[in-house]
Structure 1
Amino acid sequence: MYKILVPVDGSDPAMRAVDEALSIASGKKEAEITLLYVSPSPVYFPFYSMVGPSLDADVKEVEEREGNQMLDDIIAKAAAPKSVTLRKKHLYGIAAQEICDYASDTKKDLIVMGHRGMGAFGQVMLGSVSNKVLQLAKSPVLIVK
């Protein structure tokens, strides 16, 4: 089985990556596409801890609900052929690191991702997630524009 990982954030480039992954997978006898959404962990935002642990739990609950809803919406819209299995995964942490670790741990054959996501602030402050994945990933990476 050919296994593809597609990190998504709801942006147009991420949606084009989903379409590209479906196109690649449809040419395989059996394929699995995992849509991965990475929420930033509240640990990475120091102001949350100043308010207290209850906010951390509230933020995580909202992130969980919204992240899973986005993944469900993408799966509902995807026109996957019967030979392609769609899965979803929601993780917390630093996006590029979580993407690479998950791809390695689950032995993905390919990572397909958009060239940039929704986080303009994050790109300026931390660099492009797709660029970091290109540098860190052990699997081949296809960047979709």
Structure 2
Amino acid sequence: MYKKILVAIDSSKINQQVFDAAVDLGKQNNATLMLLHVLTDEEMGLTEIATQHISALEYHAAMVEQVEAYLKEKELFRQKYLSLLESWAKEAVDAGVPTEYTLNYGGPGRTICDFAKSWDADLIIMGRRGLSGFSEFIMGSISNYVVHHSPCSVLIVQEK
């Protein structure tokens, strides 16, 4: 039934459950998995570059320093998640499920849906952070966005 399963991996503790569900479904359906992590500045804990105006020269030097620090930090996070994705891809392949992985930047909900469409996914598997009420209203729900905008079916794994 499902031949191409997109597995949205984030930085939450439910990831192992999401991955396990994806591998099980991949085996049952002889499907290919695509592991996707969407890297965001908020996830990395990086703040926007300061806009404090001192003098033009001091401001320029401070901006250069902040941009360099930002890029270095971003690269460290990129490598961390690439290693994680590579490790899980190997584990899935060892379990007999063809698996690829990719790391993208942007807004998670939209990026997941856009990638699912361009990759022609039959199913998206993802976890749910468990926000509700006011927290979900303020912070938004990525899983809710994906359910409403996805070009294919979506399986939400709820934390046990």
Which of the five TM-score ranges fits, normalised by the shorter chain?
Answer: 0.7 to 0.9
Superposition map of 1:60-75 within 5 A: 60-75=74-89
Which residue of the partner structure matches residue 13 of structure 1?
14
- Aligned with 1:109 (options 122, 140, 143): 122
**1:81–1:74 CA distance, 2 compared to 1 (3 A):** closer
Q: Runs in 1 of length 4+ with deviation above 6 angstroms?
A: none
Which residue of the partner structure matches residue 131 of structure 1?
144
Q: CA shift at 1:13, angstroms?
A: 2.1
Tell me the secondary structure at the aligned position of residue 27 of structure 1: helix
Which residue of the partner structure matches residue 26 of structure 1?
27
* Distance (Å, rounded) in 2 between the aligned partners of 1:9 and 1:78: 17
* Stretch deviating more after TM superposition (51-60 or 106-115): 51-60
Q: CA shift at 1:17, angstroms?
A: 1.5
**1:34–1:123 CA distance, 2 compared to 1 (3 A):** farther
**Unaligned runs of at least 5 residues, structure 2:** 51-62
**Unaligned runs of at least 5 residues, structure 1:** none
* Distance (Å, rounded) in 2 between the aligned partners of 1:81 and 1:116: 27
Given that residues 22 and 80 in structure 1 are in contact (C-alpha distance below 8 angstroms), is that contact kept between their aligned partners in structure 2?
A: no
Aligned-residue RMSD, C-alpha: 2.6
**1:53–1:127 CA distance, 2 compared to 1 (3 A):** same
Which residue of the partner structure matches residue 99 of structure 2?
86
Given that residues 46 and 70 in structure 2 are in contact (C-alpha distance below 8 angstroms), is that contact kept between their aligned partners in structure 1?
A: no
Kindly tell me the number of residue pairs found equivalent between the two proteins.
137
Given that residues 6 and 36 in structure 1 are in contact (C-alpha distance below 8 angstroms), is that contact kept between their aligned partners in structure 2?
A: yes
Given that residues 6 and 21 in structure 1 are in contact (C-alpha distance below 8 angstroms), is that contact kept between their aligned partners in structure 2?
A: yes
* Distance (Å, rounded) in 2 between the aligned partners of 1:46 and 1:90: 18
**1:16–1:80 CA distance, 2 compared to 1 (3 A):** farther
TM-score (norm 1): 0.80
* Distance (Å, rounded) in 2 between the aligned partners of 1:69 and 1:4: 20
Q: Larger radius of gyration, structure 1 or 2?
A: 2
Q: Aligned residues: percent identity?
A: 28
Given that residues 10 and 70 in structure 1 are in contact (C-alpha distance below 8 angstroms), is that contact kept between their aligned partners in structure 2?
A: no
- Aligned with 2:154 (options 124, 130, 141): 141
**After superposition, what is the alpha-carbon deviation per residue over 1:8-33, rounded to whole angstroms, capped at 9, x for unaligned?**
1243322211111111111124x210
Q: CA shift at 1:37, angstroms?
A: 0.7
